[in-house]
Structure 1
Amino acid sequence: MRKKPGMKNNLFSLAAVLLLPASLSAAAPPAPPSFGETVEVNVVNVDVYVTDRNGQRITGLKKGDFEVLEDGKAVGLSNFVEITPAGKPAAQEPSPAAPPAPEAPAPIASPPAAPDPQRQLSLVVFVDNLHIRPQNRTRVVEQIRKFLAQSVRPGDRVMLATYDNNLHVRRPFTGDPAEVDATLREIERLPAYGQQEDSGRREAYRTMREIYSLRKCAAEIVTPVQGYAEQTRADALRTVGALTVTINSLSGVPGHKALLFVSDGISITPGEELFQALGELCGGSPATGIVTKDDSIRPGGKHADDVEDAAGPKYFPEQAALDAQKYSVAKRFENLAAHASANRVTFYTLQASGLQGTSAASVEGDVNERLLQSSFVQQIQTTNLKGSLTALAVDTGGRAMLDVNNFLPELARMQEDFESYYSLGYTPAHNGDGKDHRIEVKLKKPGLRVRYRQTYRDKPALEKMADRTLAALFHGFEENPLEIQIEIGDPAPAEDGQYAVPVRLRIPLFKLAILNQQDTYQGRLRLLVATRDENGGASPVRQVEVPLNIPRKEVLSALGQYYLYTLTLKMRPGAQHVAVAVRDEVAATTSYLTRPVQVGAVAASR
């Protein structure tokens, strides 16, 4: 029974006081016994891109042409759709013929259907200002602007972000091409720091040569190389962290998700090219790092005159390759790609340096730096920069755009992925086991190539709910099937310079599943809440369970009213955002809402 106008709505009211700082998590009370819950069907969707050996798109394949394996075991396909460039499913395999229906009058034209949220494109353009040189960024951003101006379709959403030692969302998701273009022009004017890595490499090399000039290959000659490798590795890990945060925020966003990562490249083994130069300087072979002298060698490969001299121990060139591997971040990029795949985010990586290489920017023609220009040292540097970009793209089913200066054809191929692919779905034997699973897609037709995400995480319902809460918090994606109303009360000063902010929820009882349990009608809600500040810092997602118990004699009047619930959050002054999820645990239906909050002096002056 729906609430009548003017009916009192304060019959059932409960205040939940969560006076917690944003960095803490509220412990949930023990869950009551489960009863009559709806079971959600778990379907794993895999987007598959098929081309021939020449990279040409292959269309018209059927469900029977594909074989999907999970963790090495074949699974049956429950869903199969071919998405065409027109943005609509292609004609499906015919069903058994039915008797012809009598001819009907022509239907009245209806307005265009809203985009299917499960097939909408959410594209993040992520410019890595920490690892890009200004001139490279200018060239590539101009091409990205041209591409997006022509390719953004109705219903598509584009978000623009940069990493400049901090993650900045320069433009939240928008479908307005003019807003996208204006923000990209702003990004072109921001500082870029890729040249600082070049300066750091040259400085480390010069210090290494100075030590060498004082005493050939003294043990401390490796110190500046180690310092450079440590700093470069730290920069790489911070960038990986920013990408991880971005993927976390996308995890609950519905539809087709892609991240275009724009960078000159991040070395997958930071400093390896300097370790190679050091090995060559101290007598190692360019290809192997093995000493090339033909005098006597002590056990372990150490030369008799190189172990130490009167001034102290020396550095052995054969150690350089082993020392370089201590700084490898390959596993971190592997984990990042797996995390993206688990959250159905595809990486497209674009190396902004293109064909111009890195040596010209790195060496500046100094005769004492010719070793840095050697082909083998440059090959190591180039391979490392490409390695991270390739790993992210390949492992998530995307594309790496390398070794080109005209990126428009490569971006057009990315657009083909957005418009033409096969969506395969299957129901796994497990449901929400919280584990990562390996996916393999095979084609029964020879000579074709496939790309797809290679892993996924079977998330429990609570983890999916937390993901969706973050999507509401960061990107404003709301969904409200429970028709909940949310109101932010006036902040009140609290201890430690913080404010207590009441968040009031009005939940219509007629929208909830409430079951007959002897003398009472019972239901169960789960509430999740998260906050973020104006700098993008977010609290953990906190949760609380709320049992509903309505006496049998009051149930008819109660169903026409609202259940009132108040969360009181402890927040710092400034512009904040709050996201709340309310889940009916019996019906497995969830609402997600988000609201801005101004905490502190500005709010008090209104």
Structure 2
Amino acid sequence: MRRPVSVFAGLVPYNRLSMTGMSSLRSLAVVSVLLSVSMLIAPLPVDAQETPARSPRATFEDAVHVKVINVQVFVRDRDGNPVTGLTSDDFVLLEEKRPVPITNFYEVHERVKVGAVAGLVPGEPEVHIIDRPGLARRNYIVPEDERLNLIVYVDHHNIRPQNRNRFFRYVREFLRQHVTRDDRVMLLTYNRSVKVEREFTSDPQLIANALYDLEKHTGGRTMWDSDRADLIRDIGEEDRDYFFVQGRVRIYSQQIYNDMQFTLDGLKDSVISLAGLPGRKAFLYVSDGLPMRAGADMWEALDQRGRSVDSIEYDSNFYLDSLQYDSSRRFTDLVDTANANEVSFYTVDASGPMGINSRDASMQGMAFSSNIDSVARDNMHSSVMYMAEETGGQYIVNTNNFRDGLNRIALDFASYYSLGFQPGHAGTGRRYRIKVELTKEAQERLGLKRDRFVRHRLSYRDKSVDTEMTEGTLAALKLGYEKNDLEISLVKADEIRREERGLYTVHVDVQVPIGEMTLVPVGTEGEHLLRARIWVQALASNGDISPPQVEPFELTIPAEDLQRAMESYYTYTLPLIMKEGDQRLTVAVRDEVAGETSFVTRTLRVGV
């Protein structure tokens, strides 16, 4: 027997397989070395745990997994209004420049699914449709894969407090008017590290109220402005040694570049944490812009000084040195990560049209051209525009009219098309470029002959089943997401105090109804095979997260026991070593035949 190991060292329970009832049931299960498995099947004692009788599911000769890549597509007219009433025949979908058939299609208009859904994939669940005339609303439960998840991310380190607080007024209005209780909203902040201010909630007013507390924070861009003003003053003083000011520009650029790496790390980590979360994911990023190339405007100022004042010492090749402070590859990596995890960036530069000014009345020395401020603004805007354009989102830059910009974003939440296709590959882990166009006939009919009227994410990553399940388990653990198609349940059976102070062995029963699993007929005697895998991961009260553990299992059920097995369930007993206090545990189960999954999270109170 393997001794249980602390969840913080890997969540490894000991090996135990026991069976009660129906001794004639022969198990061909692979005995788990990580997860203990016990099976309870009729005939059972009076106090046995049974589920209500249910009809067996249809069985399949082999596991057939149909993978569909879904792409949100936004079609807008010349005034920015949604173009409605299109069908799948009006679109061309390309993967790596090659057309692929559209197998799934529906339209959402004013948050209501309207028109016809293709439903071309066999076994696709029935969807209740609301007819277009009048868009009369009915009782409609938004499926998890269609629910809006909005992440409001406030970058304290890269914003001026007055700009941030001014923009918050519009955000609160936006949340009240355009975010519903069918949506989930989370509030994150960044100030050299990411902080979860409010976890996902269906009450947008909680997020709106939390913004008041954030108005008290200082903004890191204020210090940046001070350093920039000092540097531009030194560059403009003609009696300053040219190589001295060049060294200062290098130091300034390096500091900003270093800060940018931490900023991009925070953004990327936040996007990765959303990987396993189903549904639409909109990431509202609020800052005063981000420099694509650190110190680009100061290198422009230095170039102007070299040409006009220090022509003898000036070497135009020095300008190439600024390329080492370029973060464009990091931004490309960020948008690739966002597209891989189906996250769309909606970026806001809260500084408005007059966010940068290189001179004031107190400055002496040479007069710089306005090109320096243009370089600075373009440098700040290009990054956040790129983030939005590549991921199918929108940006708000160079304006004080934040209300209109947020209203345009709200249109994306309410009206869009969903196009799905089946790739000719599975689980390669590769990134694939995609493009959606209107057919020539649709363009002529609508008078929209440019791609700029059609918007969507520009790539996706073909993830393996293992990757998707691992990401889903972590999302359920950290974000509170739950999906339970297999109707599994978690029950804390008991806990035993260990000799080590503050540690307990906790037995958790994972109950899986056999009738919810899809069984494969095998052999010649009517036997049926159950094939599944289970993932387990835990989050301690101090924030420590155990590595995920996964184990496959199989079980063969004789024909004479099949009906009674369908009316019962498996119990997997997990013996876990946990610290005293509240611990969060997520268990995921995947039916390997049908591909259906469950992600269930429970908080366990240990030792109290």
Tell me if both proteins adopt one fold, taking TM over 0.5 as the criterion: yes
Amino acid in structure 2 at the alignment position of 1:139: R
Cα deviation for residue 247 of structure 1 reads: 1.9
Once the two structures are superposed, what CA deviation does each residue of 1:9-55 show, in whole Å capped at 9, x if it has no partner?
A: xxxxx9894546368999x9xx979x954222111211111123443
Secondary structure in 2 matching 1:338: helix
User: 2:160 maps to which residue?
Assistant: 133
Q: Distance in 2 between matches of 1:167 and 1:541?
A: 23
Count residues with an aligned counterpart: 538
User: 2:489 maps to which residue?
Assistant: 485
User: 1:313 maps to which residue?
Assistant: none
Cα deviation for residue 407 of structure 1 reads: 0.6
Match of 1:380 among 371, 375, 385: 375
**C-alpha distance 532-243 of structure 1, shift in aligned 2 (>3 A):** farther
Q: Is residue 131–residue 194 contact of structure 1 (8 Å, CA) maintained in 2?
A: yes
Q: Is residue 495–residue 504 contact of structure 2 (8 Å, CA) maintained in 1?
A: no
Q: Distance in 2 between matches of 1:516 and 1:91?
A: 36
- Structure 1: gaps (5+ residues): 1-13, 94-108, 286-290, 294-302, 307-315
Q: Is residue 273–residue 377 contact of structure 1 (8 Å, CA) maintained in 2?
A: yes
Amino acid in structure 2 at the alignment position of 1:192: G
User: 1:272 maps to which residue?
Assistant: 296
Cα deviation for residue 166 of structure 1 reads: 1.6
Residue 467 of structure 2 is aligned to residue 469 of structure 1: no
Q: Distance in 2 between matches of 1:496 and 1:271?
A: 54
User: 2:516 maps to which residue?
Assistant: 511
**C-alpha distance 533-63 of structure 1, shift in aligned 2 (>3 A):** same
Match of 2:284 among 246, 249, 260: 260
User: 2:185 maps to which residue?
Assistant: 158
User: 1:122 maps to which residue?
Assistant: 149
Q: Distance in 2 between matches of 1:539 and 1:292?
A: 60
Cα deviation for residue 561 of structure 1 reads: 4.7
User: 2:25 maps to which residue?
Assistant: none
| 1:416-565 matched pairs, under 5 angstroms | 416-443=411-438, 444=440, 445-446=443-444, 447-448=447-448, 449-488=453-492, 490=495, 502-515=507-520, 522-533=529-540, 538-548=545-555, 561-565=568-572
Q: Distance in 2 between matches of 1:571 and 1:201?
A: 51
Q: Is residue 149–residue 279 contact of structure 2 (8 Å, CA) maintained in 1?
A: yes
Q: Is residue 5–residue 12 contact of structure 2 (8 Å, CA) maintained in 1?
A: no
| 1:90-239 matched pairs, under 5 angstroms | 90=115, 112-203=139-230, 216-218=241-243, 221-239=245-263
Secondary structure in 2 matching 1:179: helix
TM-score between the two structures when normalised by the length of structure 1? 0.79
Match of 1:391 among 386, 391, 409: 386
Amino acid in structure 1 at the alignment position of 2:484: N
Cα deviation for residue 260 of structure 1 reads: 0.9
Once the two structures are superposed, what CA deviation does each residue of 1:223-256 show, in whole Å capped at 9, x if it has no partner?
A: 3333322222222222222222222232222222
Cα deviation for residue 190 of structure 1 reads: 3.0
Q: Distance in 1 between matches of 2:521 and 2:295?
A: 67
Residue 302 of structure 2 is aligned to residue 284 of structure 1: no
Q: Is residue 49–residue 420 contact of structure 1 (8 Å, CA) maintained in 2?
A: yes
User: 2:8 maps to which residue?
Assistant: 21
Cα deviation for residue 556 of structure 1 reads: 7.1
Residue 116 of structure 2 is aligned to residue 85 of structure 1: no
Q: Distance in 1 between matches of 2:495 and 2:88?
A: 57
Q: Distance in 1 between matches of 2:62 and 2:382?
A: 48
TM-score between the two structures when normalised by the length of structure 2? 0.78
User: 2:585 maps to which residue?
Assistant: 578
Which stretch of structure 1 is more off in the superposition, 35-44 or 342-351?
Answer: 35-44
Cα deviation for residue 179 of structure 1 reads: 1.4
Q: Is residue 277–residue 377 contact of structure 1 (8 Å, CA) maintained in 2?
A: yes
Q: Distance in 2 between matches of 1:223 and 1:575?
A: 53
Q: Is residue 171–residue 208 contact of structure 2 (8 Å, CA) maintained in 1?
A: no
Cα deviation for residue 343 of structure 1 reads: 1.8
Q: Distance in 2 between matches of 1:377 and 1:470?
A: 46
Q: Is residue 277–residue 481 contact of structure 2 (8 Å, CA) maintained in 1?
A: yes
Q: Is residue 148–residue 177 contact of structure 1 (8 Å, CA) maintained in 2?
A: yes
Cα deviation for residue 369 of structure 1 reads: 7.8
Q: Distance in 2 between matches of 1:48 and 1:197?
A: 38
